[in-house]
Structure 1
Amino acid sequence: MIREGKVQDIPQIIDVIQDSIRSCVEDHHRHENIIQPWLERYTDAQLISEMLYNDCWVYLIHDKVVGFIMVTDQGEIKMHFVATHAQKMGIGSALYDYMLQQMSNKNVHKIEVKSTLSSLDYYLHLGFQNYGPSGLEESQKLYKYLF
């Protein structure tokens, strides 16, 4: 089930983020000195602030958050994470499709995301394209135009 994210969801959202980040081996190669700064970016205070200014939806299984997506009013995906045990089940795509519907209702015509190497194939599969310089940077900005 997908519903709007709530402040009460933040502890579970942080669990999903931490689990998902640790699974992105292609990006950090299991080096704790790389993983820790990523994990430290996501705090209760930071998520409360982000939730005030952006749209956030969570995917629940048995009342537990297993995925979420956050997007700006301009169509920039700020965060999109799915717990490792719930990946490859269509949860990320369901959240993405739900977000697209909401953005379409707001007349947003372009979605953008800053993709890590681990999630690059996922976003390319969703139809995103890299319109900027390509290469093996830490992250790439991708765009998808909606018509």
Structure 2
Amino acid sequence: MKHIQQLEKQQIPQALDLAWEVFEKYVGIDYTQRGIDEFYQFLHTPSLTKPLVYYGAFDKNQMIGMIAMRNNHIALFFVKDTHQHLGIGKALFTYMLTQIPDHRISVNSSPYATEIYRELGFCATEHMKEENGIRFLPMFYNR
């Protein structure tokens, strides 16, 4: 049985591990080594990851997806490869929307996830950018 919940403090390291696992396999292939290192540093810098609000999707007791928010911005959003294309990401996103009051959600989408965000209703606001080796497309979602 699958369920989604806001993560407790002790579950956050598992969510960050899941993010790194999926990033390394799918997202990082579009990045230079500098971008890969930058993302790794982000995941391992508590001053950046601790303020985020995390939600996780679970199949039994196994975390299969996660989304992390900084105010109205999606900072992290990953689903295990074994559970992709099963609606887990959409369910996580929909649940997160019920938990935050903001009407406009932003994300800096990796090239890998751009189509996924479009399917969720996001629109690009600029062209693809690159900062510190991280390639991203700024996108917004309006309820």
Q: TM-score range by the shorter chain?
A: 0.7 to 0.9
User: RMSD in angstroms over aligned alpha carbons?
Assistant: 2.2
1:97-147 CA distance string (max 9 Å, x none): 1111222xx2x2111111010000100111111122x2465111101111x
Distance in 2, Cα, partners of 1:85 & 1:136: 30
- Counting matched residue pairs gives 136
Q: 1:126 aligns with which of 120, 125, 141?
A: 120
Asked whether the equivalents of residues 128 and 138 of structure 2 are also in contact (C-alpha less than 8 Å), the reply is no
Q: Which sections of structure 2, spanning at least 5 residues, go unmatched? A: none
Q: Aligned ranges for residues 88-127 of structure 1 at < 5 Å?
A: 88-103=85-100, 106=101, 108-127=102-121
Distance in 2, Cα, partners of 1:136 & 1:70: 22
Asked whether the equivalents of residues 26 and 117 of structure 1 are also in contact (C-alpha less than 8 Å), the reply is no
Amino acid at match of 1:4: Q
Displacement after TM superposition at 1:39 (Å): 2.0
TM-score by length of 1: 0.80
Query: Does 2:25 match 1:27?
Result: no
Q: Considering Cα pairs closer than 8 Å and 6+ residues apart, tell me whether 1 or 2 has the greater RCO.
A: 2
Percent sequence identity is 24
Query: Does 2:35 match 1:40?
Result: no
Q: Which runs of 4+ in 1 moved over 4 A?
A: 31-34
Cα 1:33–1:145 change in 2 (3 A) is: closer
Amino acid at match of 1:40: Q
Cα 1:46–1:65 change in 2 (3 A) is: farther
Q: Which sections of structure 1, spanning at least 5 residues, go unmatched? A: none
Distance in 1, Cα, partners of 2:60 & 2:45: 23
TM-score by length of 2: 0.82
Query: Does 2:74 match 1:77?
Result: yes
Q: 2:65 aligns with which of 61, 64, 67?
A: 67
